[in-house]
Amino acid sequence: MDINQIAQMAGVSRATVSRYLNDGYVSQEKRAAIKRVIDRTGYVPSRQAKTLRTGKTDVVGVIIPKINSASISRMVAGISSVLNDAGYQILLANTDNDAAREVDFMRLFTERRQVDGIILIATVFTAEHHAAIEDLRVPVVVLDQNLPGYSCVHQDDYRAMRDIAELVLKHAQHPGYIGVLEEDVSAGEMRHRGFVDACAQHGVDVPDDAQTRAEFTVDSGYSCAEAIMQAHPETDALVCATDSIAYGALTYLREHDIDVPGTVQVSGVGDGELSQIVTPRLTTVHHHYKTSGVEAARMLLGLMSGDDSIPREIKMGYELVERESTR
C-alpha cells in the first residue's frame, strides 16, 4: 500500500493525499474521504520517505552512560514525557560508562542523519568529545554536566556536597570520602571539591588514603569503605559521592558490626528509592533528575524548532534529606 493507491481509493490526486499527510490544506470532503481509506487500510506513511521529503526524522537520540542507574532512569523519564507529547520518538544509546562510545554514538547519529537532535547525558569531555560536538549537524543539549558554549542542564553538585558534608561534620572529626573518577567533572571533581572545602572550613584534615575513588556500584562502595576503615579505624563518617556507593559502605559497616550512625555516619547523593528502605535509611541529597530531563527536552525542542538559538544554562536546585544514617 502506497500513497498512489490511497489517492486512487479515495478518488483524489496524489498531491492531495500528500498535503493531507503533511497537515496542508485539504477540503473537508476530501479530508474525510482520505481518512476513511487510511482507517480502513491501516496505512502508515513511510518514515524514510518523509525523512527524504522533509529532512526530519522525528527522532531524538539520547546518549546515556548507564542504563541501570536510578538517576539516569529519572532523567530519561523526564525527557520522554516531553518528547513523546511533542510527537518525537527516542533512540536510546547506552555507553556503559565508556567515554569513547559517547563519541561514537554522536558521530553515528549525525553521519547517518538518524535523529533531529541529541541529548547527551555526559560523563567526561575529552578532546574527541569536543571535536564530535563541534561537528554535529543537529542541535545538542548536554544534561548533567556544564559545557560552556552549549545548552546545558546540570546539578549544583559543589554546593550540594558541601552542604551535606557540613551536616555530617557537626558530629564528626575523622571523615572519609568515597568519590568517583574526577574526570567526571560534576560527580567527581565538583563533589570532591565540595567535601574538601567543607572540611577546610571546619579545620578538619583528611588523610589522602581516607579519600578514595570508587566505581558507580555497591560492590565498589563496599571495597572502598573496607580500605578506609582498615587504614583508619578512627573514621567516624563516610561521605559518599553517590547513593550506590553509600549502600556498599552501609553493607560493609553492618557486616562488621559497626554502628551507624552511632560510630560511623554515612551519607550519599541522589536520593534513589532504595535510600528510603535501606537500614538505616540514608541521609542524602535529592537532585531533581526527572525535572532536569524535562528541562533538557524542552530546551532541545526550542533548538530544533529554531525558536532558541542562543545556548542557555540551567543549574538545578537540590534538597538535603536527613534520615537515620547521620546524627
Residue 130 lies in a domain: yes
pLDDT of residue 322: 98
The helix (run of H) or strand (run of E) holding residue 292 is helix 289-305
pLDDT of residue 52: 47
Task: Please say if the pLDDT value at position 160 is more than 50.
Answer: yes
The helix (run of H) or strand (run of E) holding residue 321 is strand 318-321
Residue 323 lies in a domain: no
- Model confidence, pTM: 0.82
User: For 50-108, how does the pLDDT look when each residue is reduced to its tens digit (9 = 90+)?
Assistant: 544 555 778 999 999 998 888 999 999 999 999 999 999 999 999 998 999 999 999 99
Confidence at 49, pLDDT banded by 50, 70, 90: low
Residues 77, 20 share a domain: no
Residues 163, 151 share a domain: no
Residue 325 lies in a domain: no
Residues 249, 105 share a domain: no
Report CA-CA distances (Å) from 291 to 79, 171, 215, 302, 305: 9, 33, 25, 17, 21
Residues 119, 150 share a domain: yes
Residues 167, 151 share a domain: no
Residues 294, 148 share a domain: yes
Q: Where are the beta strands (DSSP E) in 30-174?
A: 59-64, 89-94, 117-121, 140-143, 151-155
Q: How many folded domains does the chain comprise?
A: 3
Residues 261, 306 share a domain: no
User: For 196-252, how does the pLDDT look when each residue is reduced to its tens digit (9 = 90+)?
Assistant: 999 999 999 999 999 999 999 999 999 999 999 999 999 999 999 999 999 999 999
DSSP of 198-234: HHHHTT----GGGEEE--SSHHHHHHHHHHHHHH-TT
Residue 212 lies in a domain: yes
Residue 173 lies in a domain: yes
Residues 177, 106 share a domain: no
Residue 33 structural domain:
3-45
- Beta-bridged to residue 266, according to DSSP, are 238
SS3 for 78? Answer: helix
Secondary structure tally for the chain: helices H, strands E: 12, 12
Amino acid in the structure at residue 155: Q
> Residue written as cell 485539504?
26
Amino acid in the structure at residue 270: G
Residue 327 lies in a domain: no
Residues 161, 281 share a domain: yes
Q: CATH number of the domain that 311 lies in? A: 3.40.50.2300
